[in-house]
Amino acid sequence: MQNKNRQFVLARHPDGMPKESDWSLVETPIAEPGEGEILVRTLWLSVDPYMRGRIAPSKSYAKGVEIGEVMQGGGVGEVVRSRNPAFKQGDIVESMAFGWQEHVVLKPAGTRKVDPRHGPIRYALGVLGMPGLTAYFALLEVGRPRPGETVVVSAASGAVGQVVGQIAKLAGCRAVAVAGEDDKLAWCRAELGYDAGVNHKTAGDLGAAISAACPNGVDVYFDNTAGPITDAVMGLLNLRARIIQCGRVAVSNKPGPDIGLRFHGHYIVTRCRVEGFLVFDYVNRYDEGLRALGRWVKEGKLRYREDIIDGFEHMPKALIRILKGENFGKQLVKVSDEPRG
Amino acid sequence: MQNKNRQFVLARHPDGMPKESDWSLVETPIAEPGEGEILVRTLWLSVDPYMRGRIAPSKSYAKGVEIGEVMQGGGVGEVVRSRNPAFKQGDIVESMAFGWQEHVVLKPAGTRKVDPRHGPIRYALGVLGMPGLTAYFALLEVGRPRPGETVVVSAASGAVGQVVGQIAKLAGCRAVAVAGEDDKLAWCRAELGYDAGVNHKTAGDLGAAISAACPNGVDVYFDNTAGPITDAVMGLLNLRARIIQCGRVAVSNKPGPDIGLRFHGHYIVTRCRVEGFLVFDYVNRYDEGLRALGRWVKEGKLRYREDIIDGFEHMPKALIRILKGENFGKQLVKVSDEPRG
């Protein structure tokens, strides 16, 4: 086993779209696990839009990354040394507390064992992890779709969006994908079962294009982006529509505050409900969500596309990639080979 | 009985704050009731912020007033001729379909008999009518206040706001008034039981002033105004706060669209819920609301202040008055003397 641990630490808080130079790659000695802790070798690291919020200097729902600290992020890895009887060497574990590093010392709280029999272990970062659970609870608990309703999903082929569309179809809804590339939209329709797709980069009049894809209006809007897509959907809401504010990737990289058209009048006219969502609020129900998602994956009802970059050194590039919408499917970085088993 | 009916018809759709010349006072013959209809002499006319939406050229939840049509509005009047067995001469009735006129022919649908034993008949336009029902259902059904929570109310001494504050107190909450005059705020505290008040015109740093009045943050925001008060409250929301979008009087007179800071990030961070409200959605539960409000009025638990202007010819001035926030209490116009009874 190597003695050095490579880590990415934050070099500066980006203003606008992050650059690779906003992080520094450093080497430190591999830490020793304390009593009750485990030392884990990183196999996969997740790359998610929420990370943009963690490197902003402003207050958010979670503590942000300070200059010089290891960049935050979730991962999947192999236990190489355990000082906790609940974990043994060779176990595969998932945690939000990996950070961008090749080895990590984890505490048992928040560390979940991954059973390789349930699918590829990297699914614990996607369809059988935080993005899948986000789609499941946000759509079903906040969106409350009814059969026959129309569900519009922004960032529809992303880590969350692709699961949302498929659950909307399972719930008997019309599912409409909004994404920024025609090949993503073609795949959403052919492979995921979305009924229609709109390319927000080429549509021209975005409101008219989404309206044409939603002949009965919009009942549920699963908002992963905010920004212009949201502006266009607001004019198409049916009475008592529900808007799930899950992400805001289209505006999180804009320098300064997000200034634009405001919708208080729409709220009153449509009596819609806008609600913010964070998956951690449902931590006590993760088992329920994972059972449902796992069953659908096993039955072939839930497909999941991943976009894999090989090599720990590419972490900053991978994050910038998803902030620009260049990924196609759930973005992962392969850090080291999985153990043979 | 006079033969002429004075009416205000819309002369133009105002751009920005309405002017008195946006309406024309005309005289027409008093109409004859058809089979099943009643002819009513107007006693009281209501003046409400929603009327600003009805004279905007843009689409809203209800059909707007066209140029040359009688201005829409609710009232209370006395039946002078009935061609419907359910109503007899001398009955007092309330309806949203009066319009700004001294006599009106009403159909039975939407016409409600007012029992003078339940309080002043003009209360049917206020605490025992649409504003009271708005406060009741919007606060209790959308806001869902829990004992110990903090409820902030904009336009706190208005037709709706004064009822909201008192119901919030009945529900065991801390109630915080926002209004534009110190005497209104003093009255909110002394007479209605609001725990604190903030003058949004003189506070300076409005966010700091509301924050000081809400040491435990904001759990429910009853928004009658939108605009700068709303912007200030958004930064003070507690986790899972509820925002009732009931009105937007602070921006409804701004020419052009309402452009400003947007709050998608706040939605996610706080997981708040924003929901538009329109009292007509609760029409099947009006009896329930009126029973509760009537009991509180009778028991002295619900006080209600009115701002009365005498004379039908002052209708445009009365509406402009409330759009500027110059009224103190529910704005009414006395059109003619009540019958002696």
The DSSP annotation for A32-68 comes to PP-TT-EEEEEEEEE--THHHHHTSSS--SS--PPTT
8 A C-beta contact, residue A242 and residue A272: yes
Q: Are residues A174 and A276 in the same domain?
A: yes
Query: CA-CA distances (angstroms) from residue B124 to A139, B49, B158?
Result: 42, 17, 16
In the block, tokens 């009965």 appear at A216
How many separate domains does chain B show? 2
Interacting residues of A63 by C-beta distance below 8 A, sequence separation 6+:
none
Region B265-293: mean pLDDT is 95
pLDDT at B180: 95
**Residue of A251, A259, A265 lying closest to B260 (CB–CB):** A259
A152 and A196, same domain (yes or no): yes
Distances (CA, A) of B96 to B37, B313, B315: 15, 19, 16
pLDDT range class, residue B232, cuts 50, 70, 90: very high
**Structure token digits, residue A303:** 């497909």
Burial label for A57, CB within 10 Å (0-12, 13-18, 19+), is exposed
Same domain flag for B36 and B98 = yes
Full domain range(s) for residue B271:
130-280
* Residue B292 falls inside a structural domain: no
Specify whether B155 is located in the same domain as B265. Answer: yes
Candidate from A223, A271, A275 with C-beta closest to B277: A271
In the sheet that holds A237-245, the strands lie side by side as A196-199, A174-179, A150-154, A218-223, A237-245, A273-276, B273-276, B237-245, B218-223, B150-154, B174-179, B196-199
Residues A104 and B144: their CA atoms lie apart, in Å, by 44
Lookup: tokens for B255: 């020419």
B337 to chain A nearest CA, in Å?
A: 36
Tell me: do B328 and B229 sit in the same domain: no
In percent, the amount of chain B with pLDDT more than 70 equals: 98
- Averaged pLDDT score across all residues of chain B: 95
Helical segments of chain A, H only: 50-54, 130-137, 161-170, 182-187, 206-213, 228-234, 264-270, 286-298, 315-323
Q: Which residue has the higher pLDDT, B85 or A256?
A: B85
For A10, A228, B263, B286, B289, the CA distances from B132, given in Å and listed in that order, are: 55, 38, 30, 10, 8
In this structure, is residue B288 part of a structural domain? no
For residues B166 and B266, membership in a common domain is answered with yes
pLDDT above 90: residue A249: no
For residue B215, pLDDT beyond 80: yes
Query: Do the domain assignments include residue A291?
Result: no
Residues B113 and B159 placed together within one structural domain of the fold: no
Q: Tell me the torsion sign for CA atoms B289, B293, B294, B295.
A: positive
Question: Quick one: average pLDDT of A173-201?
Answer: 97
Question: Roughly how many angstroms between the first and final C-alpha of chain A, as a whole number?
Answer: 19
| pLDDT value at A2 more than 70 | no
Closest by Cα among B210, B291, B225, B286 to B260? B225
Q: Distance from B200 to chain A by nearest Cα, in Å?
A: 19
pLDDT digits (tens, 9 = 90+) for B284-317: 999 999 999 999 999 999 999 999 999 999 999 9
Residue B113 domain flag: yes
**Are the beta carbons of A267 and B274 separated by less than 8 Å?**
yes
Q: Quote the tokens at residue B56.
A: 């905007």
In a domain, B290, yes or no: no
> Strand A112-113 relative to strand A103-106: parallel, antiparallel, unpaired?
unpaired
Asked whether residue A248 falls in the same domain as residue A321, the answer is: no
Residue B46 pLDDT greater than 70, yes or no: yes
What is the pLDDT confidence band of residue B57, given thresholds at 50, 70 and 90?
Answer: confident
**Which residue(s) pair with A103 in the sheet?**
A41
Asked whether the beta carbons of B168 and B175 are under 8 A apart, the reply is yes
Tell me the chain A residues in contact with residue B270 when contact means C-beta distances shorter than 8 Å: 61, 276
CB within 8 Å of A340: residues ≥ 6 apart: none
The lowest-confidence range among A322-326, B95-99, B218-222 is A322-326
Contacts of A176 (CB under 8 A, 6+ apart): A150, A151, A152, A153, A194, A195, A196, A197, A198, A210, A213, A214
Residues B164 and B29 both lie in one domain: no
Would the pTM count as exceeding 0.80? yes
Among A264, A280, A296, the domain-final residue is A280
- Residues above pLDDT 70, as percent of chain A: 98
B62-75 pLDDT per residue, tens:
789 999 999 999 99
Domain shared by A120 and A134, yes or no: no
- A–B CB contacts, 8 A cutoff, strictly below: 108
Give ∠ CA A96-A102-A106 in degrees, rounded to 5. 45
B168 and B246 both lie in a single domain: yes
Q: Which residue of B has its CA nearest to A265?
A: B248
For the segment A235-251, the average pLDDT, to the nearest whole number, is 94
What is the DSSP track for B157-206?
TSTTHHHHHHHHHHTT-EEEEEES-HHHHHHIIIII--SEEEETTT-SSH
For the domain that residue A201 is a member of, what is the CATH number? 3.40.50.720
CA distance B190 to B198: 14
Chain A residue at shortest CA distance from B231: A262
DSSP-derived secondary structure for A153-209: EESTTSTTHHHHHHHHHHTT-EEEEEES-HHHHHHIIIII--SEEEETTT-SSHHHH
> Is residue A288 included in any domain, yes or no?
no
Contact: A268, B277; criterion CB under 8 Å: yes
CA angle (A51, A53, A55) in 5-degree steps: 75
Mean pLDDT for A322-332 is: 94
Residue A226 backbone zone (phi > 0: left; psi -120 to 50: alpha; other: beta)? left
The reported pLDDT for the residue numbered A61 is: 67
Contact B91, B113 (CB under 8 A): yes
Indicate the SS3 state at residue A218. strand
Residue B58 has pLDDT above 70, yes or no: yes
Cβ contact, residue pair B273, A274, below 8 Å? yes
B140 and B264 in a common domain: yes
User: What angle do helix axes A286-298 and A161-170 make, rounded to 10 degrees?
Assistant: 80
pLDDT at B238: 98
Given a cut of 80, is residue B61 above it in pLDDT? no
3-class state of residue A336 by DSSP:
coil
pLDDT tens profile B109-147: 999 999 888 889 999 999 999 999 999 999 999 999 999
Place of tokens 């008195």: B20
**Number of neighbours of residue A313 by Cβ within 10 angstroms:** 14
CATH of residue B89's domain is 3.90.180.10
pLDDT over threshold 70, residue A1: no
CA distances (Å), A175 to each of A22, A231, A277, B247, in order? 38, 19, 20, 32
pLDDT recorded at residue B2: 60
C-alpha dist (Å) from residue B276 to A264, A271, B75, B181, B257: 8, 4, 25, 27, 18
Establish if B285 belongs to a structural domain.
no
Question: What average pLDDT is seen over chain A?
Answer: 95
**What are the pLDDT digits (tens) for A29-80?**
999 999 999 999 999 999 999 999 899 887 666 789 999 999 999 999 999 9
> For residue range B1-23, what is the model confidence (pLDDT) as tens digits?
568 999 999 999 998 899 999 99
Cα-flanking dihedrals φ and ψ of residue A138, to 5°? -65, -45
Q: How near does any CA of chain A get to the CA of B139, in Å?
A: 14
How far does the CA of residue B28 sit from the closest CA of chain A (Å)?
A: 34
The beta strands (E) that lie in B171-319 are given as 174-179, 196-199, 218-223, 237-245, 259-261, 273-276, 306-310
Question: Which residues in chain A are contacts of B278 at CB distance < 8 A?
Answer: 268, 271
Instruction: Decide if B287 is inside a domain.
Output: no
Determine the distance in angstroms separating the CA of A162 from the nearest CA of chain B, rounded to an integer: 20
Say yes or no to pLDDT of B333 above 90: yes
**Which tens digits make up the pLDDT trace of A263-305?**
998 999 999 999 999 999 999 999 999 999 999 999 999 999 9
Q: Using alpha carbons only, what angle is made at residue B262 by residues B256 and B266, rounded to the nearest 5 degrees?
A: 155
Q: Would you place residue B59 in the very low, low, confident or very high pLDDT band (cuts 50, 70, 90)?
A: low
* Cα nearest neighbour of A62 on chain B: B269
